[in-house]
């Protein structure tokens, strides 16, 4: 059985391990801090490959950013990675095959093969973080689009009348409403609009001080304001997922990210199936979490 070295290049940590053709992690998973320059990142990747060279057939890398069609370079800007990162040709790092793919795409492959989407035909995955990442695998194949940039779902517009500026500079991107940043934005507008704020446990805080953690804590304490903000946020997630369901006809939607554990997936699933014209979809929480990028990249390199 062939073996692949999966390497997940994150903004703070590089995480790696050996994965077999079935998606099993068959070595210890190790971590290194992500260096501050692109040259040092290359050197670190080379030393990781050297360390495992004799045991592996191919190398799969998971990275933030859009990846070219040849899966050799990251071509878009990557705010958490150093300048010069876009110039790295990853295929030159080893004489063995080196394959790079976007982290959200790697994650959906991992969930489809060994995680919450295993056994389904078409899996749509969304990751709720500071932004929203997305990916689709259908009939065993990753959907990449013409230039490898498909499923930039976070930038999907949900209003046309410039209600809220997004961190990307455009207006009304889905991620400015339905990501972690979106939850915070829901709280900011809620402070102005919801009468419940007057009696909320957060009413001694300014909008700048309220964190997503405060909202989650308030939800757990049944605070009426926090519940209303949280439900508004879930409504925004729902709106985007209904559209994506109608477009991709998934039989499984996998949601990942730190906050997804607070979402009632059963009720979200019922709402999507009621509103969408294509049914039935199952909504699940991701299972591979921290290793998703590493496992997905390793499996894609083996294809």
If the CB atoms of residues 168 and 195 are measured against Zn ion, the closer one turns out to be 168
Phi, psi of 33 (to 5 degrees): -70, 145
Compute φ and ψ for 95, nearest 5 degrees: -80, -10
DSSP class of residue 199 equals G
Q: Which tokens in the block code for residue 65?
A: 């950013």
Q: How far is the CB of 154 from Zn ion (least distance, A)?
A: 7
The H or E element that residue 13 is part of is: strand 13-20
In 3-state terms, what secondary structure has residue 173? strand
- The nearer residue to Zn ion, 2 or 170, going by C-beta atoms, is 170
Query: Are the beta carbons of 123 and 136 closer than 8 angstroms?
Result: yes
Query: Following DSSP, what letter does each residue of 109-168 receive, concatenated?
Result: HHHHHHSTTTT-SEEEEEEESSSEEEEEEETTEE---SSS----GGG-B--SS--SB-TT
What does each C-alpha distance from 81 to 73, 111, 156, 257 come to in angstroms? 14, 25, 24, 20
Nearer to Zn ion, 26 or 168 (CB): 168
Q: Which is nearer to Zn ion, 124 or 166 (CB)?
A: 166
Nearer to Zn ion, 153 or 241 (CB): 153
Residue 26: helix, strand or coil by DSSP? coil
Closest to 242 measured CA to CA, from 201, 199, 273 = 273
Residues 59, 98 contacting (CB under 8 angstroms): yes
Instruction: Enumerate residues 6+ apart whose C-beta is below 8 A from 238.
Output: 268, 271, 272, 275
Q: Which is nearer to Zn ion, 153 or 173 (CB)?
A: 173
Name the site residues for Zn ion (rule: CB under 5 A): 166, 168, 170, 173
Q: Which residue, among 258, 288, 291, 257, has the nearest Cα to 8 in the 3D structure?
A: 291
Nearer to Zn ion, 156 or 292 (CB): 156
User: Rounded to the nearest whole angstrom, what is the least distance from the CB of residue 51 to Zn ion in the complex?
Assistant: 39
Q: Which is nearer to Zn ion, 27 or 149 (CB)?
A: 149
- In the complex, what is the shortest distance from the CB of residue 131 to Zn ion, in angstroms, rounded to a whole number? 8
Q: Min. distance of Cβ 227 from Zn ion in angstroms?
A: 27
Q: Shortest CA distance to 229 belongs to which of 267, 203, 261, 265?
A: 203
């Amino acid at each position: 059985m062939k073996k692949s070295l999966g390497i997940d290049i994150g903004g703070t940590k590089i995480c790696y391990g050996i994965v077999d053709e079935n998606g099993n992690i068959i070595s210890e998973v190790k971590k290194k801090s992500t260096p501050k320059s692109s040259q040092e990142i290359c050197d670190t990747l080379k030393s990781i490959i050297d360390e495992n060279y004799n045991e592996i057939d191919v190398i799969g890398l998971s990275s933030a950013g859009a990846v070219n069609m040849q899966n050799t370079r990251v071509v878009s800007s990557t705010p958490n990675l150093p300048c010069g990162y876009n110039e790295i040709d990853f295929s030159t790092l080893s004489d063995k095959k080196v394959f790079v793919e976007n982290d959200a795409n790697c994650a959906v492959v991992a969930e489809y093969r060994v995680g919450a989407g295993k056994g389904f035909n078409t899996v749509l995955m969304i990751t709720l973080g500071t932004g929203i990442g997305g990916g689709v695998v259908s009939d065993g194949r990753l959907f990449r689009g013409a230039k490898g940039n498909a499923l930039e779902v976070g930038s999907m517009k949900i209003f046309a009348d410039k209600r809220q500026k997004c961190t990307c500079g455009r207006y009304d991107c889905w991620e400015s409403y339905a990501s972690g940043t979106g939850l915070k934005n829901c709280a900011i507008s809620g402070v102005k609009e919801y009468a419940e704020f007057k009696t909320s446990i957060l009413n001694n805080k300014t909008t700048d001080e309220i964190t997503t953690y405060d909202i989650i804590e308030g939800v757990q304490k049944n605070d009426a304001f926090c519940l209303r903000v949280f439900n508004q946020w879930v409504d925004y997630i729902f709106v985007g997922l209904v559209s994506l369901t109608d477009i991709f006809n998934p039989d499984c939607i996998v949601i990942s990210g730190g906050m997804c554990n607070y979402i009632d997936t059963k009720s979200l699933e019922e709402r999507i199936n009621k509103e969408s014209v294509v049914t039935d979809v199952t909504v699940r929480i991701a299972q591979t979490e921290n290793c998703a990028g590493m496992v997905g990249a390793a499996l894609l390199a083996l294809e």
